[in-house]
Each structure stands twice: as structure tokens, then as C-alpha cells.
């Protein structure tokens, strides 16, 4: 999901369930820069595995 797009600097967030660890999710925030030498190259900014409860806490904190 695109979170922000400012002057070609784009920030995305993706959340995927982890099949091998039921009830847990991989959350990754990454960016791209369309004026870069490799504009499709993704730079990971935040990467974490959370339980469903922890993911809900994160969601609530972002909505605060």
C-alpha cells in the first residue's frame, strides 16, 4: 500500500501473514525514489514480525 508520495520519493507498507507461524504477520515499510539510478529498487526502512495482538497495537497507535 502506498503511504506517501512526495516529489518522487514513495513510501509503502506491506503486511503479510506468515504461513509457518500462524497468527503472526510480517510488516515491512520500504521506499523507492523515481529519480534514482535504479528507481524500482526498494529500500527497507522498517521490518518486523508481530503477533495479531501486536499488529493491532501498532494499528491503534498509528490511528491515535
Write out pLDDT tens, residues 48-63: 999 999 999 999 999 9
Give the domain extent around 56: 2-63
Work out how many domains the chain is built from and give that number. 1
The DSSP secondary-structure symbol of 4 reads: E
For 12-46, write each residue's pLDDT tens digit. Answer: 999 999 999 999 999 999 999 999 999 999 999 99
Query: From CA 60, how far away is CA 13, in angstroms rounded?
Result: 16
Q: What is the pTM of this model?
A: 0.87
Amino acid at each position: 500500500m502506498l503511504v506517501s508520495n512526495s516529489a518522487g520519493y514513495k513510501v509503502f507498507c506491506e503486511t503479510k501473514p506468515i504461513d509457518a507461524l500462524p497468527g503472526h504477520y510480517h510488516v515491512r515499510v520500504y521506499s523507492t525514489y523515481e529519480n534514482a539510478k535504479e528507481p524500482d529498487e526498494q529500500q527497507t526502512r522498517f521490518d518486523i514480525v508481530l503477533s495479531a495482538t501486536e499488529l493491532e497495537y501498532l494499528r491503534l497507535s498509528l490511528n491515535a
